[in-house]
């Protein structure tokens, strides 16, 4: 939990809620010899042995749920830029009630997922009914992309509607061009989306 506390702090995600094991991972297992006291600001400041560890492998990978971990996703559709809106806190996913669900709120979800502008804010479980609890859409978290990324489901109120009112959204879609393997989101190799896959090119 000390190690996890540093990870959550470094990512500005609150405190560790639950340790989990994920797997299989990819690449080489870096180490299992990290000994944080829980007060370090970043993981690389913890005592560690950053060498390939031959006693474990990537079939079991360390993971953590942080108390303030928040995410949004679109599910039950044919692509990643449309579907039923679900928000997560910790390891729990919640659907959103379509009462007060507007195009401007849907716009925030689309932009946060890199899916462009919102084309349609759907209601009435257009993308099917979800499970678990339902939260209200009338929340400050849907004001803009920045507030959504800093949001916590603790701030959401439980909705009185049922899953027959689950909200959904149709976004315009991700742009057909991207930059990858750069130092940041504004640099890198140019790749263009063509017939469902990204291809590279060369400058003339």
DSSP secondary structure, 44-60, as one string? GGS-B--S--TT--TTS
102 and 30 within one domain = no
185 and 151 within one domain = no
* pLDDT at res. 145: 81
* pLDDT at res. 97: 95
Distance CA 178, CA 188 (A): 9
Counted domains in the chain: 3
State the chain's mean pLDDT as an integer: 82
Torsion of CA 166, 130, 89, 114, to 10 degrees: -70
Q: Please give the residue range of the domain that contains residue 200.
A: 176-204
196 and 138 within one domain = no
| Tens-place pLDDT, residues 41-67 | 888 888 876 555 556 666 778 888 877
Q: Are 89 and 95 in contact (CB under 8 A)?
A: no
138 and 187 within one domain = no
pTM over the 0.75 mark: no
139 and 50 within one domain = no
Res. 98: pLDDT tops 90: yes
157 and 84 within one domain = yes
164 and 122 within one domain = yes
What CATH number should be reported for the domain holding residue 167? 3.10.250.10
Strands (E), the chain: 16-22, 61-66, 70-75, 82-89, 92-96, 118-122, 134-135, 168-171, 177-180, 189-194, 197-200
131 and 182 within one domain = no
160 and 92 within one domain = yes
109 and 83 within one domain = yes
80 and 13 within one domain = no
| Tens-place pLDDT, residues 179-188 | 777 776 677 8
Phi, psi dihedrals of residue 140, rounded to the nearest 5°: -60, -20
180 and 167 within one domain = no
Cα–Cα nearest to 91, from 122, 63, 59, 69: 69
């Amino acid at each position: 939990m000390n190690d996890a506390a540093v990870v959550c702090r470094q990512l500005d995600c609150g405190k560790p809620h639950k340790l989990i094991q994920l797997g299989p991972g990819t690449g080489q297992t870096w180490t299992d010899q990290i000994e944080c006291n829980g007060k370090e600001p970043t993981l690389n400041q913890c005592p560690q042995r950053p060498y390939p560890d031959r006693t474990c492998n990537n079939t079991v990978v360390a993971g953590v749920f942080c108390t303030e971990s928040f995410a949004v996703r679109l599910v039950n559709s044919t692509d990643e830029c449309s579907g039923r809106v679900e928000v997560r806190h910790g390891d729990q996913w919640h659907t959103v009630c379509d009462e007060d669900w507007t195009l401007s709120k849907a716009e925030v979800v689309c932009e946060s997922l890199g899916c462009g502008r919102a084309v349609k804010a759907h209601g009435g479980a257009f993308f099917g009914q979800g499970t678990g609890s339902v939260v209200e859409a009338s929340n400050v978290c849907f004001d803009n992309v920045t507030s959504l990324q800093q949001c916590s489901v603790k701030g959401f109120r439980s909705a009185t509607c049922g899953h027959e009112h689950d909200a959904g959204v149709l976004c315009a879609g991700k742009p057909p061009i991207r930059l990858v393997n750069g130092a940041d989101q504004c640099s890198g190799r140019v790749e263009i989306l063509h017939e469902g896959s990204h291809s590279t090119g060369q400058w003339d």
